[in-house]
Structure 1
Amino acid sequence: MKKYLIALLFSIMTPAAFAVTTIKAEVNGMVCAFCAKGIEKKLNALPQKQAAFVDLKSRVVALQLKEGQDVSNEAFSKVIQDAGYSVSKMERVSQTVDAIQAEVAKADKAGVK
């Protein structure tokens, strides 16, 4: 019975322990591809970065964190602000950058902002 409970406990805890954490934000002020590349370059320089995505058309910026790593919302906002832009909306999601990129592409294709 103890083995069963221990196995159950680990199976419940494991998905949360390995959950993907991505900071997703809407950014004001990006008006050209150079703007987007500047933000992407700053995000790629972060040691906690697993992946980064910046979409000029939808103004979406996403930073997927490495497992066990974190960046505070304030630090993330500061990176964006130091690049010369402002964050209008920010959330932490359990999606990969690839999933967010696909979601944005699908919305663009459908003509949705």
Structure 2
Amino acid sequence: MRCYWDEDDVWFYFEVDAEGWVTRQVELEEPELTPVVAASLAEWQRARDAGRLAGYDSRFGTTAEPPVSEWEGHDPEQLTSEEFDEVWVSARRHLAVTPR
């Protein structure tokens, strides 16, 4: 799914599991759609467990905490997994070489 947050001029892309928890998240800032977050919950947990969380956060950011069922005031647009993956791959490529 994706939604636009006009207060910050940011597009949010989310992959969620069956319970509504965000498993991967991408944030793109307008006007150039510059990637500022491309975080995976599983990677974040592995980085935390390995003591490398600060490095992961500074490079890729974090995913949203509460499940989407608890969110208020957003109107998400549904995406296919292929559409999400296209944005994910591009954002990860950008953040892997460009610090946030």
User: If the length of structure 1 is used for normalisation, what is the TM-score?
Assistant: 0.27
User: If the length of structure 2 is used for normalisation, what is the TM-score?
Assistant: 0.29
